[in-house]
Structures are given as structure tokens and as C-alpha cells.
């Protein structure tokens, strides 16, 4: 690379820094910058387009186009050459822009006079902010050094945008982290919360994107990379690392020792960037590549590089995870993702959790449900937009997040929370009353749990017992397999806390999106239908045997209820049940006390089990319908897929008819039956389930009150007649007629 180009690039950045250092309105700065860049690059035009919303770009400053077009010319993402740059995050370089595919003619700008076009994205670590464009009348292809120079300038503009250098009341861009923003995402756990943002990993802020002394900056980057390499080597030498953990760290070490990575950052520094800005430039490039790579393995490797860049930035800036900021009194945790152990460390002090990633069945979702706090997942771009302390509203019912809401929105949201609180007071008055309908039928309502912290809710909710205790959380939050004695002590404390009420312990349900950190998951094209739940237990009998032993010892002579997940055929239940019987015999032969009564049941989560032979229904002590998975497999609709998961209604008459078949088969053999899952805790769904014959429902603790309140004022025979009428009318779902009928009951 010629020395002249290096010095010209640094000179341009210094001039840019000088312009930015002069006090002034954001629009004035943008205008001076476009003039400076056009002059430095020898082009007639320089324009800056910025996003006004995620789908719309606006011309915010220009040198060479018609001034009256500023703040008037707008285009959609992907529209025209500018929109193409914005969509794909890649430069567009052409000597004949008007003949280029996708060119959009904008007469208000006068740009048809200009032939050459070079546009580069203004982006910061994957956050797209706009597009920087230069144009000239002469038909010419911009060379590699010119593209690089404009790219570096765009990088600095992105950093200064983050720092608020271009905000203005007179036409500049809107202030970042100041405006109200609403995120439509996915509900992970129902509930509503108002609070202040607490970032799990505060964003690193680069305040010095331009540097005067490149040699000093290169020394800094080399020293920081050296420190990073030592820290990774130290971690690799640490004891008790499993194979998967070592593989991740080996990938980190490979990138940290990459000569190409360090060389590119050194070249960025020689062009005029500071060490921190050079790291972010390479990180932004990795993020842009990540979005375009379809191969999951390569995406994970680019993710490793992204994470490594964050570690390097924290070394360079000294901005660790602990910034010294105090957690607010009503924190709402905001993160890209978070592990179950980390979430448990925060505990019940959190008002809510919002994640950019995650799934409705992820570890974080399981813990959030156990902690009874609202959770919203897939809130894309929230981490980049939010700051610690920002006002935030979390609507877990609708999967909506309001960041820095307007007062009218906040007031309406508070009204919703107040109404929910008032309803909870009404439900509390029913706590000690049975869920007996007006026709005299009593429905047994149980709660789902997964942590010791859940058990105080047993008395407060008015539940009759624990219909599902998820035992996998104790496995998921550890870095190694828990010991039998440790599990036995925990299970004993659960039984103690239940005070004699029935607790159904579901054996280890892992696989799909619940992966143990110390067990390498198999590569499966469809994990939800793969090696999971009881299939893992039967293939790894040592784990199943250890857990059954812990449960028997925890019972210490008390009644014990064990439930196996995802039983799909009779032989699986026979094999799992045999494990329990063998361990009972073994414990008794060792002189240990055994349960005075034991129930061994199965979760029906696939349609196949509904067609099992009669001998299965005679052998099992009880059946619990796992509604979440059963509905997923019945409708062939992945509950992790937003495109289809809400498409199918639980009150679909075909699904209700299938459930009635299960009820009839259990009635034939006298097998106790319950329904467990999210739908059991929704009052309308619970009413329909009771109307078709379910007499036991299991749900999250907060749902017991609302369900009980509705059931106590309803005649099930009348509700069943409404469902039958929907069938006679040829309806697809019973919901519309049920809702209309309930409205008449309200006014009666």
C-alpha cells in the first residue's frame, strides 16, 4: 500500500475529527462532513442517508445534490442502490449507476447528472445506521483504497452517531437512545412489568475512534491481544473442563492467534483508526458476514469471533462487565441471551426479562416461569437500543416491549397492571375454596414447579398439589452432573415444603432445546422429534437409575409419584417402569426405607400413545397429557416457530375430539388423567377441557386463581352443550361460541 494513501487517509480522518470537535448543531456537522469528504475524495457529490425507522432511509445531508431534497427524499430498505447497500451491508461500486440493476431515479435530487457511484454502509457492530455515498460525473470505478477510505470514514461516523454527535432539533438525525421504541417479539412467560433496564453485558463505548499516533495504537493492540491470548491459555489449562468447553476455547484461541485478524486491525490503525475502532471495524465486518452465511457451523465460528472482539474491547477500554452502575430498584434484565445459572443468580429481584434470542422452551424460559417473572424473547435490536436505567414496559402476554414509552402508553400499561393486581386480590379470597362448578363438579387444580423457590406458591395459589415438578433444572444450572445425595436432599426438601400434598416428579427431560452443558448433544436435523426425554434415560440408564434412587431415598417412607416424559409406546413405559421397580427392590434389600405408596405414570405428549394397547392404560398408575407437545405434534406446528405456533387453536374441534378419545380410553380402564401445560392455565381453555371431561389440570401458580374463579361460576353441562352446538354448526373451533356464551353468563 503506498505511503501517500496511508497519510491521505489519516489526514482525512484528522480533518473529520476537527470538524466533529467544533460545537454546533447536528445538521451543521453533517453538512460540513459531506463537504469535507467530497473535497478530500475529489468527487462532486457526497451524501449521507440515515435510517428514520428500520425500513426507511432518509437523505439527511448532501454536497452536490439539490439541497431542497434533504429530509424530503426517502426510500425503503432495498430500494435503489442506496437501499441495496443498506440491506446487505456491503459496498456498491459502479462506473455507470443509471444502468445498474435496481437504480432508482430521484428527480428531486438531480442525481441523473452523476455516473459514478460508491456507497458504503454506516454500521456499528451489526447495527445498521445508514449509508455514505460519493458520486462523480466522470465514469470511473473507485479503486480499493478509495473504497477502504470511505469505509473507514463510515465507521467513524457510526461511532460518532452512537455518541450523539449529529442530533439536532433542526433537521439532524434523531437522538439515539432517546426516542420511544416498541418491539414486537415473542411471549416466553406471561405477565406484565414496569421497570428500568439492567443490561446483562453493558455495551462497550468507544470515545476515541480517530488516533494521531498509529505506532502507539499498534503497541496497544498488540499488548491487548497478548493479554487476551494469555487469558484464553489460562482458561484452557484450568481443570474440570469438558470436551465441549475446550472446543469453544480452542476456537477462541485459534482466532486470537490468527495473524490475519491482527494484521487487518493493524492496517486499520495505519489508516487512522484507534485500536478500539479497529477492533470494532473488524467486528462489524464479522457481524455482516454472519448475516449472509447460511451454514450454521460457520455462523457459530463468526459468533466466536464476535465474542472474542468484545473481550478484546473490554481489555482495551477497561470497561468490564462491572461498570460500577447500581442496579435499579425495579430491574428488567435485557440481554442477547443468558444461561439458566446466571438468571438464577439474579433471582426474584428482577421484575422481568427481555432477550434478543431464546425460545419458548429454552433454559431461560424455564427459569423465568419458575421465578414467575414476565419474559419476552426474540426482541431483535433491543440490546443495541437500550441503556442502563431506561424506562421499560414488558408485556409478556402479548410479547411486546415498550422502551422509553410515552406517558400515555405508560399510563395505559399501569392501568393494566392495576387491573391484574385487583384481580389477584379477588382470586386470593378463593384460595381455600375448591374449584367446584355450579353443577357440583370439582376440578382438581395443580401447579407446575421446577425450583424450591416455587414451593411457597403452593399455599398462596390455592393449588391442590404439584402436578409437574421439572427435575431438569438441577441438571441444567450446573457445570457437571449432580450427585445422587445432592439430588436426594433437594427432592426431600421439595416434599417437606409440599406438606403432604402430592408432588409428581417428572424424570429428566432434556434434549431438543434443553441441552446439558456437560453432555455433547447429537447433531439432529429436528431435535424436538429426536433424542430427548425418556429416550435419553433409557439409552443412558446410569443417569435414570441415579435419579430414581435419589427420589426413593428422598421419600424416606412417604408416598412418591414419578412421571416419565415423552412416552410414545407401551414398551418404553414398561422399560422405564422396570427401572423403578428394580431400584425399589435394591433399596429395600439394602435396608433403606421405601415409599409406603408409589405411583408410576406417563406423560402423553405424542398422538401415538393415545392408540397404545389397553394393557398400557391398565399398567400405568396415571396419565398426564403434556398439552404443549401434544398440540405441536397433532397439528405438525413447531411451537418454536412464530410463523405457525399461534396458527392452531387449542379449542379446534378436531383437537378436542382427539382429547375426548384419550378421556374415554382412560375412563375405560379407570386410569387417572390430568392435563398439564400452558393451555390448562388459560381460563377459556381450562373451561373447555373441564367441559369435555378432564377433572385434573396443572398450570403455573399464577393461573390457579383465574381458572378457579371462572370454573366456580360455570355449569359444565351448559358449556359442553355450547361445544356440541359448535360441532353441529360445522365450526372449526369452539372458541367463538364459547366466548359469546360466556359474555351472556357475565351479564346474567
Cα–Cα distance, 200 to 402 (Å, whole number): 18
Looking at the fold, whether 70 and 153 belong to one and the same domain comes out as yes
Looking at the fold, whether 472 and 588 belong to one and the same domain comes out as yes
Partner residues linked to 76 by β-bridges: 56
Q: Which tens digits make up the pLDDT trace of 281-328? A: 888 777 666 666 666 556 566 666 767 787 888 888 876 555 556 788
SS3 72: coil
Q: Among 348-357, 377-386, 454-463, 521-530, which stretch is predicted with the lowest mean pLDDT?
A: 521-530
Close Cβ partners of 50 (under 8 Å, ≥ 6 residues apart) = 57, 58, 60, 122, 129, 130, 161, 166, 173
- Check whether 396 has a pLDDT greater than 50: yes
Q: Does a structural domain hold residue 598? A: yes
Looking at the fold, whether 454 and 534 belong to one and the same domain comes out as yes
> Grid coordinates in use for 502?
402430592
Q: Does a structural domain hold residue 81? A: yes
CB of 710 closer than 8 Å to CB of 686? yes
State which of 289, 317, 345 marks the end of a domain: 317
Residue 363 falls in the annotated catalytic set? yes
Looking at the fold, whether 299 and 378 belong to one and the same domain comes out as no
Q: What is the mean pLDDT of the chain?
A: 84
> Grid coordinates in use for 339?
444461561
Locus of grid cell 451489526: 126
pLDDT band, very low/low/confident/very high, at 519 (cuts 50, 70, 90): low
Give the pLDDT mean for 360-370: 71
Q: Does a structural domain hold residue 465? A: yes
Active-site residue (options: 363, 402, 446, 570): 363
pLDDT band, very low/low/confident/very high, at 475 (cuts 50, 70, 90): confident
Looking at the fold, whether 310 and 331 belong to one and the same domain comes out as no
Q: Does a structural domain hold residue 618? A: yes
pLDDT band, very low/low/confident/very high, at 175 (cuts 50, 70, 90): low
State which of 257, 290, 317 marks the end of a domain: 317
CB of 375 closer than 8 Å to CB of 353? yes
- Check whether 582 has a pLDDT greater than 90: yes
Cα–Cα distance, 721 to 733 (Å, whole number): 14
- Check whether 17 has a pLDDT greater than 50: yes
User: Could you tell me the residue range of the domain that residue 276 belongs to?
Assistant: 214-317
Q: Among 307-321, 497-511, 614-628, which stretch is predicted with the lowest mean pLDDT?
A: 307-321
Looking at the fold, whether 400 and 490 belong to one and the same domain comes out as no
Residue 676 falls in the annotated catalytic set? yes
CA distances from 574 to 602, 603, 609, 668 (A): 10, 13, 13, 20
DSSP 505-574: EEPP--BTTB--TTSPPP--S-GGGSS-THHHHHHSHHHHHHHHHHHHHHHTTS-EEEEEEEE-SHHHHH
DSSP 556-620: TTS-EEEEEEEE-SHHHHHHHHHHHHHHHHHHHHTT----SSEEEEEEE-SGGGGGS-HHHHHH-
Cα–Cα distance, 16 to 8 (Å, whole number): 12
Looking at the fold, whether 402 and 467 belong to one and the same domain comes out as no
Looking at the fold, whether 469 and 566 belong to one and the same domain comes out as yes
Looking at the fold, whether 370 and 457 belong to one and the same domain comes out as no
Number of domains in the chain: 4
CA distances from 155 to 206, 248, 419, 563, 663 (A): 11, 29, 48, 57, 64
Looking at the fold, whether 618 and 475 belong to one and the same domain comes out as yes
Give the pLDDT mean for 410-432: 84
Res 732: pLDDT = 94
Q: Does a structural domain hold residue 127? A: yes
Amino acid at each position: 500500500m503506498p505511503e501517500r494513501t496511508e497519510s491521505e487517509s489519516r489526514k482525512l480522518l484528522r480533518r473529520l475529527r476537527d470538524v466533529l470537535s467544533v460545537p454546533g448543531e447536528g445538521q451543521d456537522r453533517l453538512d460540513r462532513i459531506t463537504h469535507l469528504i467530497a473535497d478530500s475524495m475529489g468527487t462532486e457529490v457526497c451524501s449521507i442517508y440515515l435510517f428514520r425507522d428500520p425500513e426507511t432511509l432518509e437523505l439527511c445531508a448532501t454536497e452536490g445534490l439539490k439541497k431542497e431534497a434533504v429530509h424530503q427524499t426517502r426510500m425503503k430498505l432495498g430500494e435503489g442502490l442506496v437501499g441495496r447497500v443498506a440491506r446487505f451491508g456491503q459496498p456498491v461500486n459502479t462506473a455507470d449507476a443509471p444502468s445498474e440493476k435496481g437504480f432508482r431515479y430521484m428527480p428531486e435530487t438531480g442525481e441523473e447528472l452523476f455516473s459514478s457511484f460508491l456507497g458504503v454502509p454506516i454500521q456499528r457492530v451489526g447495527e445498521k445506521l445508514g449509508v455514505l455515498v460519493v458520486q462523480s460525473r466522470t465514469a470511473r470505478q473507485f479503486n480499493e483504497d478509495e473504497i477502504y477510505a470511505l469505509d473507514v470514514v463510515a465507521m467513524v461516523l457510526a461511532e460518532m452517531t452512537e455518541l450523539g454527535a449529529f442530533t439536532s432539533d433542526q433537521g439532524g438525525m434523531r437522538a439515539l437512545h432517546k426516542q420511544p421504541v416498541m418491539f414486537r417479539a415473542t411471549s416466553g412467560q406471561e405477565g406484565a412489568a414496569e421497570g428500568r433496564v439492567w443490561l446483562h453485558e453493558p455495551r462497550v463505548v468507544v470515545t476515541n475512534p480517530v488516533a494521531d499516533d498509529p505506532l502507539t495504537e499498534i503497541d496497544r493492540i498488540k499488548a491487548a491481544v497478548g493479554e487476551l491470548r494469555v487469558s484464553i491459555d489460562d482458561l484452557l489449562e484450568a481443570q474440570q473442563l469438558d470436551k465441549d468447553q475446550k472446543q469453544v476455547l480452542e476456537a477462541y484461541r485459534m482466532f486470537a492467534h490468527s495473524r490475519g485478524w491482527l494484521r487487518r486491525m493493524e492496517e486499520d490503525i495505519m489508516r487512522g483508526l484507534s485500536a478500539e475502532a479497529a477492533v470494532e471495524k473488524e467486528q462489524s465486518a464479522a457481524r455482516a458476514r454472519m448475516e449472509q452465511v447460511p451454514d450454521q457451523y460457520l455462523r457459530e465460528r463468526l459468533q466466536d469471533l464476535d465474542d472474542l472482539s468484545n473481550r478484546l474491547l473490554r481489555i482495551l477500554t477497561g470497561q468490564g462487565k462491572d461498570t460500577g452502575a447500581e442496579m435499579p430498584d425495579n430491574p428488567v434484565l435485557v440481554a442477547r441471551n443468558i444461561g439458566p445459572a446466571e438468571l438464577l443468580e439474579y433471582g426474584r429481584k428482577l421484575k422481568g426479562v427481555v432477550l434478543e434470542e431464546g425460545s419458548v422452551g429454552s433454559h431461560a424460559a424455564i427459569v423465568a416461569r419458575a421465578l414467575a417473572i414476565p419474559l419476552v424473547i426474540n426482541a431483535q435490536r433491543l440490546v443495541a437500543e437500550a441503556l442502563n436505567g431506561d424506562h421499560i414496559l414488558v408485556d409478556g402476554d402479548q410479547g411486546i416491549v415498550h422502551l422509553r414509552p410515552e406517558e400515555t402508553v405508560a399510563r395505559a400499561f399501569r392501568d393494566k397492571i392495576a387491573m391484574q393486581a385487583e384481580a389477584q386480590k379477588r382470586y386470593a379470597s378463593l384460595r381455600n375454596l375448591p374449584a367446584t362448578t355450579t353443577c357440583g363438579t370439582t376440578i382438581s387444580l395443580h401447579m407446575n414447579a421446577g425450583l424450591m423457590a416455587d414451593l411457597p406458591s403452593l399455599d398462596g395459589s390455592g393449588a391442590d398439589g404439584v402436578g409437574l415438578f421439572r427435575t431438569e433444572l438441577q441438571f441444567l444450572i450446573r457445570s457437571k452432573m449432580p450427585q445422587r445425595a445432592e439430588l436426594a436432599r433437594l427432592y426431600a426438601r421439595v416434599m417437606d415444603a409440599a406438606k403432604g400434598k402430592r408432588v409428581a416428579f417428572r424424570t429428566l427431560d432434556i434434549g431438543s432445546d434443553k441441552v446439558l452443558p456437560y453432555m455433547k448433544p447429537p447433531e439432529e436435523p429436528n431435535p424436538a422429534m429426536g433424542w430427548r426425554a425418556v429416550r435419553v434415560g433409557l439409552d443412558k440408564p446410569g443417569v435414570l437409575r441415579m435419579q430414581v434412587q435419589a427420589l426413593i431415598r428422598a421419600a424416606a417412607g412417604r408416598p412418591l409419584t414419578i412421571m416419565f416424559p415423552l412416552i410414545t409406546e407401551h414398551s418404553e413405559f414398561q422399560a422405564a417402569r422396570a427401572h423403578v421397580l428394580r431400584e425399589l427392590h435394591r433399596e429395600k434389600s439394602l435396608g433403606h426405607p421405601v415409599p409406603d405408596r408409589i405411583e408410576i405414570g406417563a406423560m402423553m405428549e405424542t398422538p401415538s400413545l393415545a392408540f397404545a394397547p389397553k394393557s398400557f392404560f391398565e399398567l400405568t398408575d396415571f396419565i398426564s397429557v403434556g398439552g404443549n407437545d401434544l398440540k405441536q405434534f397433532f397439528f405438525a406446528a413447531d411451537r418454536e416457530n412464530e410463523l405457525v405456533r399461534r396458527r392452531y387453536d387449542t379449542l379446534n374441534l378436531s383437537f378436542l375430539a382427539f382429547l375426548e378419545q384419550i378421556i374415554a380410553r382412560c375412563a375405560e380402564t379407570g386410569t387417572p388423567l390430568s392435563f398439564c401445560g400452558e393451555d390448562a392455565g388459560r381460563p377459556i381453555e381450562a373451561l373447555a377441557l373441564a367441559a369435555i371431561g378432564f377433572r385434573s389440570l396443572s398450570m403455573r401458580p399464577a393461573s390457579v386463581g383465574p381458572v378457579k374463579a371462572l370454573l366456580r361460576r360455570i355449569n359444565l353441562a351448559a358449556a359442553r352443550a355450547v361445544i356440541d352446538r359448535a360441532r353441529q354448526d360445522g365450526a372449526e373451533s369452539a372458541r367463538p361460541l364459547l366466548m359469546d356464551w360466556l359474555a351472556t353468563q357475565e351479564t346474567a
